[in-house]
Amino acid sequence: MSNIAPALADATGASTQVIEGALKKALPELKPDTIVPAPLKGLYEVTVGPKVFYVSEDGRYIVQGSLIDLETRSDLTEQRLGAARVNALNKVGLDNMIVFKPKTSKHVVYVFTDIDCGYCRKLHSEMAQYQAEGIEIRYLFFPRSGKNTDSWTKAVSVWCAKDRNVALTKAKKGEAVESKQCENPVEQHMNLGLAMGANGTPMMVTGKGEVIPGYIGAAQLAKLLDKEDHASN
């Protein structure tokens, strides 16, 4: 019995190396964050940023889609995607986000936002309500019009402002913000949003990694977050 664990570890390590080699050969631009055994025998789970997919242990086949446990009726892939999204957001770091923090934070929500998006502006205009519910909003930029557009330029100017929170609030009201250039995370935010499947704004990601597309009012969002917390405990 004492030899079983080392043998399993050796087998897992060998398969991981095979998969790493196969991915490097076929997809050299891909940089996996983790390669671990999947719940289904013969498959390995690969995470790349906020994405999750599966590879056969011989490194020949890639499987994309959801892995469902029929016994528990749970989506195992979505659970892992949630963790991958949170990990990717943590890598961005709070210093590269614009944070609106209530006196007491009960929940954290990451919001991919476009300064010129109507529902993004509605959400921001209700910031006091979100804060009253104890919801901390962590903004990342997602200018839908793309790079080198007016929305992108506004995002950069807000980031480069002396007080980013004040500048963002002004911009969300449609007020002019002094045009500035500096080192900024707008492209990093945009790429992460695209990797998470964002195709509109606002797009929320909860502290547990669940994606909530579109606008949701503070009271309804608080109920969803309370339910999410209860389910995970």
Could you say which of 80, 121, 138, 144 is catalytic?
144
Instruction: Determine whether 120 is an active site residue.
Output: yes
Instruction: Determine whether 117 is an active site residue.
Output: yes
Could you say which of 114, 116, 121, 138 is catalytic?
114
Half-sphere CA count of 77, side-chain side, radius 13 A = 16
Could you say which of 80, 85, 120, 121 is catalytic?
120
Could you say which of 85, 117, 121, 138 is catalytic?
117
Instruction: Determine whether 150 is an active site residue.
Output: no
Residues labelled as active-site residues:
114, 117, 120, 144
